[in-house]
Amino acid sequence: MFTADHLRMGKLKQLLMKRRQLVEGKVKLKIQLGNVNRHMHKDLRSSFNRFDKAQMRTIDRLIKKVEVMIEAEIKADPKVKRQYDLISSVPGVGPVLASNLLALTDAFTRFATPRQLACHAGAAPFESTSGSSVRGRTRTSKKANSWLKSLLHMASIVAIRHDEQLGAYYRRKVAEGKPKLCVINAVRGKIIHRVCAVLRKDQPYQTRPLLMS
């Protein structure tokens, strides 16, 4: 039998899926405007550009309506709203990532440790092994949630630009010769650990002073 919490997370997942579908539809229209319509006959091009732009405006309105529904669903449960506020305090974690983290973890009940969540989100590297030997570079799990991984990737880019500690970490590791994508993946893992830490402590994230070496 489904509990109220399961039903709420189910509704949140459906709302987020609809938002994702709308966003992907808008991306397709943008591609059509940029790459397809420009090859049309000039007598048709302007008309189809207007049609596609009108569709994009409609999609934008629908996205906003769905986002209002998502926000209402989160606010309906004080515990879920508290979790949302806590993880949103972590640099790089915006409304889309925060709501998806809530939904895809069933309000953080699916994973017992930050490592488990990092594996699910494709932010925990594994060594490619054969028997007892290690072969090649580390890689993330193929079973990772690709959507959550992409959201965390975008969050990492934002955090590197705006968070002093993660920005310094990224620049230091790249200067040491680490591949940029590997460092970004490590930043994804750090964001997950920060998310889990604020939930464990039940306190918003606080930036610590950057120590000078």
pLDDT surpasses 50 at 127: no
Is the pLDDT assigned to residue 135 strictly greater than 70? no
The arithmetic mean of pLDDT across residues 167-195, rounded, is 95
Q: Measure the CA–CA gap between 207 and 198, rounded to whole angstroms.
A: 12
pLDDT at residue 130 greater than cutoff 70 = no
SS3 158: helix
Across 55-78, average pLDDT: 96
- Could you read off the pLDDT of 74-83 as tens digits, one per residue? 999 999 999 9
Predicted local distance difference test score (pLDDT) of residue 213: 40
Best CA proximity match to 158, nearest among 173, 172, 148, 170: 170
Question: What does the alpha-carbon distance between residue 94 and residue 15 come to, in Å, rounded to a whole number?
Answer: 17
What is the reported pLDDT for 137? 52
Over 70: is that where the pLDDT of 89 sits?
yes
88 vs 198: CA distance, rounded Å: 10
Phi, psi of 11, rounded to the nearest 5 degrees: -65, -40
CA distances (Å), origin 74, targets 46, 82, 90, 100, 175: 42, 9, 18, 11, 41
Does the pLDDT value for residue 51 go beyond 80? yes
pLDDT at 23 > cutoff 80: yes
pLDDT band at 45 (very low <50, low <70, confident <90, very high): confident
Average pLDDT score over the chain:
86
Which pLDDT does position 41 carry in this prediction? Answer: 76
Q: Which residue has the higher pLDDT, 36 or 70?
A: 70
At residue 195, does pLDDT exceed 70?
A: yes
Predicted pLDDT of residue 198: 97
Residue 73: is its pLDDT beyond 90?
yes
Q: Does the pLDDT at position 162 exceed 80? A: yes
Domain ranges of the chain: 4-76, 95-201
